[in-house]
Structure 1
């Protein structure tokens, strides 16, 4: 069946647009649904915001956990209920850089750019576009266009829409270019003044066999006259040692749990202080154990070594794990003295920053894929169990990760499409007539099914997907944790883009799902025809995310929900100390949706100008929420030196192209073929001129540091120069770190 020839819904004259029985898009755009969505969003968001303002002062370890840890120049948060808003707003970009780093600066810069664009676009949209839409009878909505006296379609003002496409595209490109230039300048100043081991180190891939020793590779790099080399680390196949250390950690955790159970007579301590008062961190081995054992009357814990701990001889659990700990300590000491086979990966540290940048930007070897240098991540961000992977193994893992990610993106079509198709009154009337009858008796019931529930279901259902992508990236073979996080950003965005535009937009009903499956070549046409119909859904989505969900994110409702369950399972001081750690801010989870919202606002800037206002609310609220979290309450341990910005640029260019093609398709559906063709040169310019220009101009500066920034720093640069940290080094910690002790020092008892 041709999707453009579907039967029309009675009472809904859509002109050339497709109409099907029960299409929820025919009513979701009504003002009543928007009013209801706003009421629900405010009913959710305002109590959550007020609750946060109250709990912020009581749960200082959760909501202000970074203030003392960072020892930065951030202003302290006032005790007043709403005073934190002014304090957070007044934190400068320089303070953000010094406290949270480049990644946080880039993340917040995107929100600031979006706010500027939406302010300008909202003025355009409400003053000019909205009146023209009203005059033309809603040319791009589900309402029929006004006709001339002779019965022909009123298309005299359709030229205005072409001009608006050019205007909004130009405004977007202006802000993108300006913000990219600003971020690039800040990045060069920030990194050009640093002299840490990270900035002076490059990671080299494809080390040939005759150079796979520290001395050989060092001499080879020095012979290239790049600069003096201070240290070389060849990544070796440490899998045996890594396995022993992982097993030791598992044994130690079990010993801690059995020991704390015994020391407290099987009773759980009331708090961490009581737990610490009854134990000693250095009296669990040898003869020092015996005096402590007599302090308790509780029976010592016992375990069975047979299948699943059910069968076998019963033995003393504490003695068993102490013996195992002593044995594995000896094995690790011996394993550290073993010679492990070298791999084709290495870290080379230079004497100065300029030498490292020369190495990272130069072609070091005439043999393809040999001695390829790139800037290294920080030592604490290195995933050492992936550093030894060969190029073939890493390529295999990447291929598997790509297949799994593509499968998730595509196969999620079925549940997302089912949600879109099921959550409307007509589908419920067909399959669940009793429920549909009850809902149809009240306006509120109908509005819940048609307006709120599809939006809520979409938000909740898709909240699970980033965790799947994070799991895939964890096993993909990245050497840097920052690279793995950027991979999650990319995967999660394309999931949202695919399912929002190619699935949820078109799959308004089961009939449309059938049409898509039967003739996939009609998807672009259906997309152009369906976008106006789901405008209300996207407005609802942005309203719910901005006004309703952001306050819950500020409240960290997820952490609050799981905290009691984690606390119940916490037994040792180490477990309880982890409860006090700051939550992790994961850009892979938090960045893709704002990018998608920006694209939605751009695509609907002409079709539904009111989306610009709600998009502005979304980014203003999101800016305050994320700025507070990045500065005061959430930790971001992985640093990619602002690499996410070029990813943002590429995806916003995709959004611009979708916006332009959509508007061209709209005009084609209105039989305005000349006007439709007038937009196509803009698409060409966007892809082959603007994107190539911004990519060639700024990609090198987003990956490297210019020699000018190193040798001729700006005198008015406010960024603090970071000195070398002698404690940092590129070496597998399992080779050199002291054995982790029971109730380790960082957990407050040693």
Structure 2
């Protein structure tokens, strides 16, 4: 053994990466509490003042949902939020929010029990036997690590003589506690997962079985052969199956020309609105030098607009009337100084020539031509694609079609549940199936390539901030860190923890973009794919690279030794997990105590608001600023799953009670944070009908496998080989449960059983039982059946049709109130622009502005316009405040 003990003495081994000291946890605790408490106090202070942000969802929610209003007191919202029942969560936020929050709730219960046993039973055992151990701490780990790194088969020689099996050594009897509690904690985790799965399935089946939406009655039919690509042929085919009557068929067609025109129209519309904003803003700049002329200098700014203008200054739009009454001299001077915005456009051969022209004229004409093209394109006949949405007369008929094989030929007439009409990515519906598969494989390969690329920065991060590396590069700085424990703690643990947390925030945006461009048909599928990709990054690059590999130079050593010895990864995992306990403890501490209050504060929205405010130019920009932010599960669920796995892995090791305690705090704070955001502050993307639960279960099982491999490797490092082998049956049982879950539970997380569908002759027969919601009583149980569900409210009046075929065309949004949409008869006529004939450059439809709703719709939180009396003697004017702009409208 002495031969191998000093083989890595003069170089940084994998054990030296990110090795924190005892003071690191206290430093991280202070930093996390300072961050968390400051953000929490700021939230409690700003919440009643900024209701457009912190109560954005509640302000436009349906009052029939019955979501209680939270008090405006400093802490009064906390007990009110706690009292919101699961029934109310389900009724107001839907299945996805219910599943997400119940994962946190289940984790709280599980880790509370595990924390009790780890603190009361396991930790005293660890303290007693480690204090009585004559060897230095981790001496066997460091010795065997060097041995196994160079000679992985050397453990066989240790088994023969040097180190006998310690499984039955009386001095090592405490190692049996690892085995017992590994079985106990695994069984406890599977019990809670199984129990919660039964609950989720029953709630899901009852929720979807009792509602009636067009989505529940529609299935997606793909792989349609060319001879069946007509609505009549598809309807006849499905009705001949004798499963029900077909109400409607939407055959997807190649609408690319129309979709491209609509996209171009949105761009031109934004450019036209921006040009009008520049022109109207310039009017203010010119008008800002005028004096009021009425001698009113009492300091009252009630009627004053931007640039010092008062209501007595009159209406600039009424210039001709002012001349008639003899007051047009100043107005004529102002009119002559107004410069209309210019734009440069390119033309000629290869668009090599260019000239400037009036921007408002140019974009107005361009918009008119696009409207004419769209009007013609909507009447065209397009080639049929191989995908259709078939709406049946009943949910039962739809489910029978989904759960059956229709055609004996592989890849033809495949049925799947349909997404909601507003959830469909229509551009992908007419893309060829081969193209979508190629895009899917390309994105998958790119994600795999990124996983290899991420090895370099993550492993570099794991090594460059260690004292070992700093001592090589900056020896003087390393010596100074030895005398400053707090600075050393910040460098060794604080900085890696902060950088890893930043990676967890930034990388999901990239993977969300990749998922969206993978060619999927629905936004729900995109969301689930993003969850999977982000978890893979979090688990593989953040967890495995930090533990198994440790540094870039160690990656190839680990892979090479793993080929020689299949158990090498388990040994390496166990050896490094123990050394990184403080790092992962600090990681959970920062995520829970430090960052959750910042998420509650919506720090990103608050910090970016000034930037968006400076960039907002048009009324549409200002309206978008006050919309509720979106809650994306793919940004938050992967980190929660990683924390869940870390709590499992460290549960039986020394100091595991601390990790479990912090894990309990993490899931408790996360539950209340996300509950508030999902119910009151943030909107959700399109629903996936609780499909995230099966992904959660499979990741929990992966965590159990890692947990069991870690304990088995740890026992082997303690030379308790019999105990290590006794973990194998538990590992096999976990794999069997995963296989059984796929066949027994997964179909019920995808489909609706026929018995769960509520029929007229059996009202309330499938009601959710009280025990599913903790015995909340008959009155609460009836709530979900009396009210329409979130999906029913959202899908009311919708149908499966490409919105670009029917959506009303929007006019430029120039004033505070949105203009009415163009009617079909006006779509080819353009807008009423008289840019040179008179001073009334834009003539809005005064009969409908502010009363008719457009597709965009007015801002629900926009302030009402300020109304005053104009100075013109023969006309009255209305003063409309437009953010930074003050416009006078006749």
TM-score (norm 2): 0.77
- CA drift at 1:381: 0.7
1:22–1:509 Cα contact (<8 Å) kept: no
User: Which whole-Å CA distance do the structure 2 matches of 1:397 and 1:8 have between them?
Assistant: 47
596 and 314 in structure 1: CA distance in 2 versus 1, 3 angstrom threshold: same
CA–CA distance in 1 between the matches of 2:783 and 2:409?
A: 43
Per the alignment, residue 711 of structure 2 pairs with 663
Distance 1:202 1:733, change over 3 A: same
User: Cα 1:652–1:242, aligned 2, differ >3 Å: closer, same or farther?
Assistant: same
C-alpha displacement of 1:515? 3.1
Does residue 415 of structure 2 align to residue 373 of structure 1? Answer: yes
Which position in structure 2 is the counterpart of 1:476? Answer: 518
Kindly indicate whether residue 445 of structure 2 is the aligned counterpart of residue 403 of structure 1: yes
Taking the aligned partners of 1:125 and 1:9, their CA distance within structure 2 comes to: 35
Q: Secondary structure at the match of 1:583?
A: coil
Change (3 A) 1:6 1:121: farther
Which residue of the partner structure matches residue 39 of structure 1? Answer: 30
Equivalent positions of 1:276-291 (< 5 A) are none
SS at match of 2:510: helix
Does the C-alpha gap of structure 1 residues 32 and 372 become closer, same or farther in structure 2, counting only changes over 3 Å?
Answer: same
Which of 723, 744, 747 matches 1:697?
744
Which ranges of 4 or more aligned residues in structure 1 deviate by more than 6 Å?
A: 138-141, 145-148, 268-271, 292-296, 307-311
Larger displacement relative to structure 2 (485-494 or 358-367): 358-367
**C-alpha offsets along residues 8-32 of structure 1, whole Å, 9 cap, x if unaligned?**
669xxxxxxx99398145x52x432
Distance 1:6 1:637 in 2: 57
2:723 matched to which residue of 1? 675
Check whether the contact 2:574–2:710 (CA below 8 A) recurs between aligned residues.
yes
Change in Cα spacing, 1:274 to 1:588, as seen in structure 2 (3 Å) is: farther
Q: Give the equivalent residue in structure 1 for 2:292.
A: none
- Residue 267 of structure 1: how far off its partner (Å): 5.3
In 1, Cα distance between equivalents of 2:229 and 2:516: 27
Identify the match of residue 474 of structure 2 among 432, 449, 467: 432
After superposition, the Cα gap between the structure-2 partners of 1:625 and 1:434, relative to the gap in structure 1 and judged at 3 Å, is: same
Q: 1:62 corresponds to which residue?
A: 53
Contact 2:178 2:652 in 1 (8 A): yes
Q: How far 1:124 moved relative to its partner?
A: 1.1
- CA gap of 1:453–1:342, structure 2 versus 1, over 3 A, is same
How far is the alpha carbon of 1:485 from its aligned partner? Answer: 0.8
Any gaps of 5 or more consecutive residues in structure 2? 142-162, 289-300, 311-316, 318-330, 768-780, 819-853, 860-881, 883-888
**Aligned residue in 1 for 2:672:** 624
Q: For residues 121-160 of structure 1, what are the alpha-carbon distances to aligned partners after superposition, in whole Å with 9 as ceiling and x for unaligned?
A: 0111111111111222189995458999x9x893222122
Inter-partner Cα distance in structure 1 for 2:755 and 2:639: 37
**Given the alignment of the two structures, is residue 170 of structure 1 paired with residue 167 of structure 2, yes or no?**
no
SS at match of 2:416: strand
| Kept after mapping to 2: 8 A contact 1:66/1:582 | yes
Contact map agreement 1:264 1:296 (CA 8 A) in 2: no
| Residue equivalent to 1:303 | 343
Structure 1 residues 709 and 721, CA, compared in 2 at 3 Å: closer, same or farther?
Answer: farther
2:370 & 2:451 partners in 1: Cα distance?
44
Is it true that 1:730 corresponds to 2:800 in the alignment?
A: yes
Asked if the contact 1:302/1:314 (under 8 Å) is kept, the reply is yes
C-alpha distance in 2, partners of 1:377/1:738? 23
Once the two structures are superposed, what CA deviation does each residue of 1:69-114 show, in whole Å capped at 9, x if it has no partner? 1123110010100111111111111111111110000000000000
Task: Decide whether aligned partners of structure 1 residues 31 and 233 sit closer, same or farther in structure 2, where only a CA change above 3 A counts.
Answer: same
Preserved CA contact (<8 Å) 1:232 1:347? yes
Displacement of 1:565 in angstroms is 0.9
1:603 has 2:649 as partner: yes
Over 3 Å counting, the alpha-carbon distance change for 1:34 and 1:141 in structure 2 is farther
Per-residue deviation, 1:387: 0.9
Which secondary structure state, in structure 1, belongs to the residue aligned with residue 684 of structure 2?
Answer: coil
1:550 match: 596
Alignment-derived partner of residue 747 in structure 1: 858
Does 204-213 or 722-731 show the bigger shift?
722-731
SS state of the match for residue 305, structure 1? strand
8 Å contact kept, 1:7–1:20: no
Q: 1:579 maps to what in 2?
A: 625
The 2-side partners of 1:122 and 1:19 are apart by 35
Contact 1:357 1:704 in 2 (8 A): yes
Which residue number corresponds to residue 500 of structure 1? 542
Cα deviation, residue 673, structure 1: 1.2
Which 5+ residue runs of structure 1 have no aligned equivalent?
Answer: 11-17, 279-283, 285-291
Residue 511 of structure 1 deviates from its aligned partner by 5.9
Which residue does the alignment assign to 1:228?
245
Shift of 1:245: 0.5
| Equivalent in the alignment of 2:755 | 708
Give the secondary structure class of the aligned counterpart of 2:220: strand
CA deviations 1:692-749 (Å, max 9, x no partner) are 2222221111111111111453355542345685520100001111112211441369
Aligned-residue offset at 1:529: 1.6
Contact 2:592 2:665 in 1 (8 A): yes
Q: What CA distance in whole angstroms lies between the structure 2 residues aligned with 1:196 and 1:274? A: 49
The offset of 1:317, in angstroms, is 0.6
Distance in structure 2 (CA, Å) of the matches to 1:160 and 1:19: 34
1:287 alignment partner in structure 2: none
State which of 262, 273, 278 in structure 2 corresponds to 1:245.
Answer: 262
Q: 1:318 to 1:595 in 2, by over 3 A?
A: same
The CA deviation at 1:445 is 1.1
Change (3 A) 1:134 1:726: closer
The residue that corresponds to 1:130 in the other structure is 123
1:105 aligns with 2:98: yes
For residues 251 and 199 of structure 1, the distance between their equivalents in structure 2, rounded to whole angstroms, comes to 38
Is the counterpart of residue 73 in structure 1 residue 66 in structure 2?
Answer: yes
Is it true that 1:197 corresponds to 2:249 in the alignment? no
Question: Contact conserved, 1:49 with 1:552, CA < 8 A, in 2?
Answer: yes
Q: Is the 8 A contact 1:345 1:388 kept in 2?
A: yes
May I ask how many residue pairs the two structures share in their alignment?
722
Q: 1:646 to 1:188 in 2, by over 3 A?
A: same
Using the TM superposition, give the Cα deviation of residue 358 of structure 1 relative to its aligned residue in structure 2, in angstroms.
1.1
Displacement of 1:224 in angstroms is 0.6
Aligned-pair CA distance for 1:274 = 7.2
| Cα root mean square deviation, aligned | 3.1
Residue pair 1:37, 1:544 contacting (<8 A) in 2 also: yes
With the length of structure 1 as denominator, give the TM-score of the two structures.
Answer: 0.91
Q: 1:296 to 1:328 in 2, by over 3 A?
A: farther
Q: Is the 8 A contact 2:32 2:590 kept in 1?
A: yes
Deviation at 1:519, TM superposition (A): 4.2
Instruction: Within 5 Å, give how 1:644-659 maps onto structure 2.
Output: 644-659=692-707
